[in-house]
Amino acid sequence: MSDRTDPRFEYLLRLGDNALILSHRLSEWCGHGPVLEEDLALTNVALDLIGQTQFWLGYAGELEGRGRDADALAFRRDVWDFRNVILVEQPNGDYSHTMARQLYFDAWHFHLLLALITSTDTRIAEIAAKALKEVTYHLERSTMWVVTLGDGTEESHERMQRAVDNLWSYTGELFEVDEVESSLVANGVAPDLARLVEPWRSTVGDVLRQGTLDMPEDTWMHTGGKKGIHSESLGYILADMQFLQRAYPGASW
Amino acid sequence: MNAIEHPSPQPGVAQIWGWLSDVPDPEIPVVSVVDLGIVRDVRWEAKEGATTELVVTITPTYSGCPATSLIALEIERAIRDHGVHRIRLKTQISPPWTTDWISEAGRQRLKGFGIAPPAKVRYLVERLSGNAAAAECPHCGSNKTVRVSEFGSTPCKALYKCSDCLEPFDLFKCL
């Protein structure tokens, strides 16, 4: 298979770019974590996501058949060619924002991978099974932090509530289904995202309840990332992440 | 290249497994790549003509484990050092690596090194229901231990502290 229009190429970019961009955001905490253990934990989560990125983008490059490997896709595409959801490119903010973003994503990632294990594309199913194990730990950790901060002091509660409220409008895009995905749903490669809404709401709702937090009201939702229309944040991320390969193409060490 | 050609004797698979069990994990050198279950298969495969090549199948522990490429290099070097030069390393991610593949000897060596070995998995069920057994302190054997952080000095470990002997320790996480 080496068809540029294979919808799996587009789909794999979405999976890979979500992991890559969130990983980069988390790595920005390296050296700045509130305590040493948090520094290590966040960078370990970032590392898992980088590993998953290599699997997804590596497979995307093979399907595309134009000789681009995972590195070429990560470092030599511009903003409009990235397919991640806007949620993962949002700035770290304070710790409650980083953890709210992580909880929303981890809960979605967990349910998505659980469904992808039965993908009719064996390679996708295998990567999902591998990644799911790691993501289970990620979800466990973001759950712990949202509950701890939500059910903590008056100030931590207030900040955690503000963070889950502020980021809520980025969660709608996680469940959008377009023509790329509907064609893959039809042949069993990908799950129907609309069917993940309930499990996701139930997971997130449980965590917020445990953390004495209110579930945000449904509101207008951001959209565009999956089509390459991003917030201003992504350009800054790429400027940082891609600088070396842009300035010194092919550099390695 | 000192390619091993027929009919010169080629080392048996069991012997090669023996060589590989001397290859240490780069991050936790008390255990070998065989103890950890990273080496999944060793076999001779026929190539074109009368030659054969040694195919070693390995699996990554965590997707992003930075030691993966170093491990592949060490495995290749160990085999070359024994005079076999026709080697192909194959990476396989399915079935995904699990800590249940760590050998009993490997578990004992981890413990001796001060790292609590992973419990047997029954993975999703126990973890998600919060019924996973308490970690045992590798120093004093107490079960009164608390988790300090889900992620420790490497992706495969969590950081714990013993409430009895007060020593901190790493736990090799179930995966």
Determine contact: A189 vs chain B, CB below 8 A. Answer: no
Pairwise CA distance, residues A42 & A155, whole Å: 23
Pairing of strands B52-58, B39-46: antiparallel
Angle at A230 between CA A228 and CA A233, to 5 degrees: 140
Q: For residue B143, name the pLDDT band (cuts at 50, 70, 90).
A: confident
At A1 the pLDDT is: 43
At B48 the pLDDT is: 79
Sequence letter at residue A179: E
Pairwise CA distance, residues A108 & A141, whole Å: 14
Q: For residue B153, name the pLDDT band (cuts at 50, 70, 90).
A: confident
Strand segments (E) across chain B? 39-46, 52-58, 87-91, 115-116, 145-149, 157-162, 168-172
At B64 the pLDDT is: 85
Pairwise CA distance, residues B59 & B96, whole Å: 8
- Chain A environment of B97 (Cβ under 8 Å): 130
Q: For residue B8, name the pLDDT band (cuts at 50, 70, 90).
A: low
Pairwise CA distance, residues B75 & A232, whole Å: 45
Residues of chain B whose beta carbon is less than 8 angstroms from a beta carbon of chain A are 60, 62-66, 93-98, 123-124, 127-128, 148-155, 159, 173, 175
- Chain A environment of B151 (Cβ under 8 Å): 37, 40-41, 44-45, 137, 141
Cis peptide leading into B7, omega within 30 of 0? Answer: yes
Q: Which of B99, B146, B149, B157 to mutate to test the interface with A (most CBs of A within 10 A)?
A: B149
B146: closest CA of chain A, how far (Å)? 14
B9: closest CA of chain A, how far (Å)? 38
Buried b / exposed e across A78-92, counting CB within 10 Å, b at 16+?
ebeebbbbbbbbbee
Q: For residue B128, name the pLDDT band (cuts at 50, 70, 90).
A: low
Chain A residue at shortest CA distance from B175: A133
Which residues is A107 bridged to in the sheet? Answer: none
The pLDDT tens digits of the residues spanning A3-25 come to 457 999 999 999 999 999 999 99
- Chain A environment of B96 (Cβ under 8 Å): 126, 129-130, 133
Mean pLDDT of chain A: 95
The pLDDT tens digits of the residues spanning A120-164 come to 999 999 999 999 999 999 999 999 999 999 999 999 999 999 999
The pLDDT tens digits of the residues spanning B42-72 come to 999 988 777 889 999 999 988 888 888 899 9
Q: Which of B57, B58, B61, B63 to mutate to test the interface with A (most CBs of A within 10 A)?
A: B63
Per-residue pLDDT for A253 more than 80?
A: no
Pairwise CA distance, residues A42 & A40, whole Å: 6
Q: Which of A37, A136, A144 is the closest to B127 by Cβ?
A: A136
Chain B residue at shortest CA distance from A144: B150
- Chain A environment of B64 (Cβ under 8 Å): 47-52, 54
Pairing of strands B115-116, B87-91: unpaired
Cβ atoms B158, B150 nearer than 8 A: yes
Pairwise CA distance, residues B75 & B77, whole Å: 5
Tokens of B108: 């004992």
Percentage of residues in chain A having pLDDT higher than 70:
98
The pLDDT tens digits of the residues spanning A90-122 come to 999 999 999 999 999 999 999 999 999 999 999
The pLDDT tens digits of the residues spanning B99-109 come to 999 999 999 99
Full-model pTM: 0.90
Q: A73: part of which helix (H) or strand (E)?
A: helix A70-75
Which residues is B32 bridged to in the sheet? Answer: B24
Interface confidence, given as ipTM, is 0.80
At A60 the pLDDT is: 98
A 10 A CB-CB count for B146 gives 10
- Chain B environment of A40 (Cβ under 8 Å): 149, 151-153, 159
Tokens of A86: 């806007």
Cβ–Cβ of B64/A130 closer than 8 Å? no
Cβ–Cβ of B150/A141 closer than 8 Å? yes
Cβ–Cβ of B96/A130 closer than 8 Å? yes
Cβ–Cβ of B62/A129 closer than 8 Å? no
